[in-house]
Amino acid sequence: MRKIFLVCAALAGLSAARANAADIPAYPSLPPPPPVIGIADCWTGFYAGGSLGYHGGQDDLTTSANWNGWGPLGAAYIDSQSATFLAPRGTVVGGQIGFNWQVNNVVFGWETDGQWMGGAITRQYTYPVPIFGFPGSAMSNTSAANVVATLRPRLGIAFDNLLVYGTGGLAVGWFSNTDSFSLPGAAVTTQPSTTTRLGWTGGGGLEWKFLPAWSVKAEYLYLHMQNYNVTIPDIAGIPFTDIVVHHNYTDNLFRLGVNWHVSPW
């Protein structure tokens, strides 16, 4: 009888343990890991396009008059009065080609471009003190930037179809200048000049792909060109009166562009 009682008690305890275990909620399972989302490579490839914008240049002028003809005081007076700056401004129209390479969200590549630059400016200055006893002596200067081309690496960060980038490199410019000096009663001495100068450029911009093969961009570039000199010849009948005009040209380019992109694979 005692054995039967112990067996019944054991069975009752086992049933109660099973019932309590059924009441305990199941341990929650871990959520699945989030899917790995890669950054879309939408910038790698070649591209070409055109641009339209505006430029604001500054040509800083100084002179070096020949002391042998003008004398120390005359040359110093001409140089002190002649310094000025000219600000040619106008439309910029051009085109560009380049290549991008994207690694994750970093985009780097090369771009070369060329643009025609409109706008020329002239100043006419009459010296307030007579030179060689002649009142009304004057200097005239004209400055214009004709064409500028650049070759630049680009480095940027891609936010899907938006690219923010910086750029800088080599610049080459073609410039036109006319520098003149006149004494009353003497022929005007004029020296026109067209010159090619190297320089450097730097800037940045934004580019947005609104279609898989098409993008628009807004860009700013600063240009600093190598200094160049134009020599105004001697005044007729007065030897050693040449005047060297020093040109120091910088420019600011603002432009909008459209690019067509071709994937290399």
CA-CA distance, 197 to 173, in Å (whole number)?
5
* Residue 104, domain extent: 3-262
In tens, the pLDDT along 7-27 reads: 334 444 444 444 444 454 554
> Which backbone phi and psi does 237 adopt, to 5 degrees?
85, -5
Question: Is the pLDDT higher at 101 or at 34?
Answer: 101
Percent of the chain at pLDDT above 90? Answer: 74
Assigned token pair, 163: 């690219």
Single pTM value for the model:
0.81
Q: Please state, in angstroms and as integers, the Cα–Cα distance from residue 116 to each residue in 8, 81, 93, 218, 225, following that order.
A: 105, 33, 5, 18, 16
Residue 156 sits in a domain whose CATH number is 2.40.160.20
In tens, the pLDDT along 158-205 reads: 999 999 999 999 999 999 999 999 988 777 888 899 999 999 999 999
**DSSP per residue over 53-111, as a string?**
EEEEEEEEEEEEE-HHHHHHHHHHHHHHHH-EEE--EEEEEEEEEEEEEEETTEEEEEE
pLDDT of 30 reads: 58
* Count of domains forming the chain: 1
pLDDT of 109 reads: 96
CA-CA distance, 147 to 67, in Å (whole number)?
36
